[in-house]
């Protein structure tokens, strides 16, 4: 039974003592995390939690605890980062249902780690990839755009929905000029494609990845290699799309064949093209949103799911950019 007394104390009782211990965390660390984030005092005695604080903050802490407890009852383990995600989601919408987000399993890795969305935008992104053949995921670093797309691709390959995964990105910031780099072609492009390999190896054992690549079931290549091809029965991911030119973006989008899905990810605040070059991702965003058969999903800094400091860093850089623009409005760079 729960009792909420305005500006006084909230009492929350949990019936399952073992689940309550998991919810509270070792030495009540999860409760301490909730208290710090909601500016409340949260203490436990047995399986009962006592929340002291301003009524809105206390209701948030209570909502977080009760929804995470219901998730634990479904067998989903709660980690420290899940506390942060839950607080972020419920702070923005106290009626959000964490079960619908956290329990939507996308893929279970070789290390038995469950990959699932951690925010409403991530949930929208996952649903878009299920329901649309072309999906654009646009937003800042750390929001899971590429990682979730990779998980969906590996899941589709594992289930036999597609025959192969194709992963591509611009090889260099301004195009495809690789001649100045040492080594053969594979060695030249490898540093630019390494983040895609890292995500793959996070989900599939190294030996299995190598075997699938040898068979052609997984292909990792710079976007120049997409030219002139028709990609059927494939799950295709174009990463770092903000650094494509309009010509590259058009070329890529017109490669998509039958029974294929394409996911295009990018961060339009981190464009490395020369100033005189237009980003293919920005152009696509401007001219393609009227097409109902494809979907754009936009992420914000609130969807960052990396280390909690990443969001603070993004905030700091945004403030720096805002300060510079206020000092000299005419110097703002436009793309």
Q: What is the pLDDT of residue 178?
A: 47
Higher-confidence residue of 319 and 172: namely 319
pLDDT tens across 56-93, in order? Answer: 999 999 999 999 999 999 998 898 889 999 999 999 89
Q: Phi and psi at residue 197, in whole multiples of 5°? A: -60, -40
* Diameter of the chain measured on Cα atoms: 70
Average pLDDT, the chain: 87
Instruction: Report pLDDT for 17.
Output: 94
Q: pLDDT tens across 233-264, in order? A: 999 999 999 999 999 999 999 999 999 999 99
Residue 183: what pLDDT?
A: 52
Q: What is the DSSP letter of 276?
A: T
Evaluate if pTM is beyond 0.85: no
Decide: 148 and 117 in contact? Cβ < 8 Å. Answer: yes
- Using the predicted structure, report yes or no on whether residue 288 has a pLDDT greater than 90: yes
In whole angstroms, what is the distance from residue 313 CA to residue 78 CA? 25
Short-list 273, 319, 281, 333, CA closest to 145: 281
- Own/partner contacts of 51-54, CB < 8 Å, gap of 24 or more, are 51/9, 51/10, 51/11, 51/12, 52/8, 52/9, 52/10, 54/7
Q: Check whether 190 has a pLDDT greater than 70.
A: no
Percent of the chain beyond pLDDT 70?
A: 88
* Lowest mean pLDDT across 49-58, 116-125, 290-299, 306-315: 306-315
Q: Tell me, what's the pLDDT at 5? A: 46
For residue 85 the two structure tokens come to 């995600």
Within 10 Å of residue 10's Cβ, how many Cβ atoms?
23
Q: Rounded to 5 degrees, what angle do the CA atoms 213, 216, 222 make?
A: 75
What whole-number distance in Å separates Cα of residue 249 and Cα of residue 247? Answer: 5
Give the span between the Cα atoms of 62 and 10, in whole angstroms: 8
| More confident of the two residues 6 and 218 | 218
How far apart CA 61 and CA 277 sit, in angstroms, is 48
For strands 234-238 and 218-222, give the pairing.
unpaired
Q: 136: buried, middle or exposed (CB in 10 Å: 19+, 13-18, 0-12)?
A: buried
Asked if residue 267 lies in contact with residue 242, where contact means CB atoms within 8 angstroms, the answer is yes
């Amino acid at each position: 039974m729960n009792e909420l007394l305005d500006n006084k104390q909230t009492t929350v009782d949990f019936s399952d003592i073992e689940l309550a211990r998991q919810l509270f965390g070792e030495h009540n660390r999860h409760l301490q995390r909730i208290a710090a984030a909601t500016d409340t005092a949260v203490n436990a005695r047995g399986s009962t939690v006592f929340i002291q604080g301003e009524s809105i903050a206390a209701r948030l802490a209570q909502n977080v605890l009760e929804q995470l407890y219901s998730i634990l009852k479904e067998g989903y383990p709660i980690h420290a980062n899940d506390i942060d995600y839950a607080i972020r989601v419920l702070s923005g919408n106290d009626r959000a249902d964490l079960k619908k987000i956290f329990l939507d399993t996308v893929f279970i890795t070789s290390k038995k780690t469950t990959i699932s969305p951690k925010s409403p935008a991530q949930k929208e992104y996952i649903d878009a990839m299920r329901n649309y053949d072309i999906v654009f995921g646009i937003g800042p670093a750390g929001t899971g755009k590429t990682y979730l797309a990779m998980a969906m691709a590996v899941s589709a390959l594992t289930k036999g929905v597609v025959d192969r995964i194709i992963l591509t990105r611009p090889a260099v910031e301004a195009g495809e000029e690789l001649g100045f780099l040492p080594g053969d072609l594979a060695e030249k492009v490898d540093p630019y494609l390494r983040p895609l390999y890292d995500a793959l190896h996070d989900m599939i054992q190294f030996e299995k990845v190598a075997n699938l690549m040898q068979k052609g079931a997984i292909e990792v290549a710079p976007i120049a290699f997409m030219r002139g091809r028709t990609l059927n029965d494939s799950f295709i991911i174009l990463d770092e799309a903000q650094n494509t030119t309009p010509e590259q973006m058009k070329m890529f989008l017109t490669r998509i064949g039958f029974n294929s899905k394409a996911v295009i990810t990018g961060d339009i605040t981190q464009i490395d093209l020369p100033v005189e070059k237009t980003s293919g991702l920005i152009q696509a965003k401007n001219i393609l949103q009227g097409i109902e058969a494809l979907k754009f999903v936009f992420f914000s800094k609130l969807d960052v799911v990396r280390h909690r400091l990443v969001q603070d860093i993004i905030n700091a850089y945004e403030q720096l950019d805002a300060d510079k623009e206020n000092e000299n409005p005419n110097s703002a760079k436009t793309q």
